[in-house]
Structure 1
Amino acid sequence: MLDLWLSAGLLLLVALGFLLVPLLRGYRQHAVEDRTALNVALYQERLAELAAQQAAGTLSGEQLETGKAEAARELLADTEGKAAVTTASLGRRVPLLVALVLPLLGFGLYLHWGGSEQVALTREYANAPRTLEEMTARLEETVKLQPDAAEAWYFLGRAYMGQERFADAARAFQRAAELANRPAEVLGMLAQARFFAGGRQWSPDIQRLTDEALQADPQETTSLGLLGIAAFEAGRYAEAIGFWQRLVAVLPPEDTARAQIETGIQRAREQLLAAGGTLPEPAAASSAALLTVSVDLAPALRDQVQPGDSLFVFAKAVSGPPMPLAVKRLTVADLPVQVSLSDADAMMPQLKISMFPQVQLMARISRAGNATAGEWVGRNQPVASSTSAVQQITIDSPDQP
């Protein structure tokens, strides 16, 4: 910051120069004016003396004229080469007052609208943090100076999680969720932080957060993993297997977490068998409910969508919970497309398509990737969950909240 203030000080001196130089010139002009006035007064006094001497009879007329000429030459010699004195003046107080107020005003305006904090942060972040504690301290300083930076709050929460400061992490994720309009990823991290902050005790609040996250993104990994952990610790091994299988299905093959999750699935299977339960049937063998949906886009909308826009195809119970029973996520580039929704795609093992007699099929296009709200939607009339006929959906209507 030293070079910044030195540069500002130099510019301030230049600005003051424009104010003070005319003032100093004014002082010199006043000095010239005072000297000229003194010379004129001495000249007039000399003339008065000559006139008095003539009246006393000590000077002749010729001597008087000679004396006057000599006094005039002396006056001209004293004033020769001097610049003309200006009679107009701005005064001395106004420039001095401006010279004092200008630096204070500039400093105050910079403190109010300037970016000294951002300059300091930029220089500090130029060097990579050496420890997790150092990175956490930087993020804490960032959110203090920029309290509306959602990304800074999110990464601060991640840093707190790495330090097992779960209560602090929950507060950071809560702030990030408020600022970023509650994205699924942040909601999942918030639920996880509250779960560990509460001593690994499940609560209705955590359930609501995971439900909201999976409703917005059925493939939200943190929520799927957390639900699997909670189900396993509560002895609901079949549910844990279901959640973790959905998680493994969306993780990339190179993800190092896959091995741990698959180990957890194996342990859940062993615990389920040891408790006298039966393993869930593979998805291919399950025929309790299988709905085939053909989705297309109305020609009038083809110029209003983009290939990368998210496409959600889901089934909802006509009489039941508001959240979807099963969801498939694709993109507009896949249209037209035919997808299958079955019990194996259930968002929650205890809420399967086959458990409800009638369902409604819907397809939604969301540019923001939000399964609950988008730009365009298509739906069909309620159908029996056991139907085998291909259901047609055309996306043709603006999405209404």
Structure 2
Amino acid sequence: MILLWIILGVMTLTAALILAWPLFDSRRFKNDSSFALAVYRDQLAEINHDAARGILDETQARAAQIEIERRILALADAPKFQPAKAPAPLLIIAMAVVLPLGAFGLYLHLGSPGLPGQPAQGLADSVAASPELQALQAAVEKAPTDPAAWRDLGEGLMVARRPNDAANAFARALGLGDRDPKLQSRYGSALVLASQGRVEDKARAAFAAALAADPTDPIARFFTGLAKEQGGDPTGALTDWLALERDLPADVPWHADLTQNIDRVARGLGKDPATLPGRAPAANATPQAGGAPSPSDLDAAAKMSDSERQAFIESMVGQLAERLKAAPDDLDGWLRLAKAYSVLGKHDEARAAWAKAAALAPTRLDVQLEYANALIEGSSDLSKTLPPNFAETVTKIRTLAPDNPLGLYYGGLVARSQGDKQAAKDMWLKVLALIPEGSAQRASLQREIDSLGP
């Protein structure tokens, strides 16, 4: 064994001396412009290849090409040769002899050369998942404009614990037109995992988009609260999480994690978690684990079947509706309930919830606009009759924002129903000027204007 270590040591020393020998040469060396030029040419070819496959759009490809071409032109100004500075002999000796021998001696003293090697866990996981990922990558290459293929690839990368790559795949699916709010939530979750638990701007935007389409999305609601806490608003985070805890079924895998986060933030604010307003006694049980939902929890929530997800949403909406009976002045609660009913297609219930919200916020333009829209939702012929309370709501809108385009359109509806065709035409012409030429909306509004006569 000793002989083996001596032989290995001699081989290491010989290799080090061979590698260090060129350092003694102090002649003028040629710069690396040729090598850099070859690299830049390869990059240009790769950009053209990605553009042809649809991975880069035309704008992105052109921007990358311009940057590389600028670097190629910069090479022309570089000197052809650069003088090499001869290094100190003592430095070369230290690099070639002392450091290898010192490292070798330190390993013999502190290391355990007799132990068998252990494979890196991350590499083992990557290799184990590689056949599936290769199949998913092949599907993407076969159909680079299919958002479903990119979404499947993202899910496979999440399973392989590669959230950064998964986020890129989800972003591509969204860019290709996938409008499923669950995908926005999934994209945001991947971004959070990739940034080691930080909710950055892109993730916040993804969760906001998910909540705009589905206000009951529990993952988006949790991380929106986490973003508030990380942004210095623990009170806002606590408010969001308490509302989520009340709506969240107890059997959700990460319910205990949510409870622990609430307890932690409450104590940080000097509050007793057990006495927080509206908190159920069961919510104060000691959790088994801490932190944000784990990747497996996110997977479980994201992979619900349609029927399971529908039941989950119905349960959350029902709990929210019950809670609002005891807290009728909770504006945010009514807004969430109204949006949830809209997502579920329950227009009558949504209309009633918007009415409550509009009564609580008479000066909020966004709430009044949503209520007006809810009032006419599902109406078959607005040219004949308008629903009750619509004209009154439009008057509030026009008072708050006389030039709001949607308010102008609604005002035209009211004026036409009252027989004032000229007023309706005047308002609708203002709206028409804001709609792009050739759009379907412009053509539809033009027909309504024409129907009013000369």
Q: TM-score, structure 2 length as denominator? A: 0.37
**Structure having the higher Rg:** 1
The structure whose residues are more often strand, as a share, is: 1
Q: TM-score, structure 1 length as denominator? A: 0.41
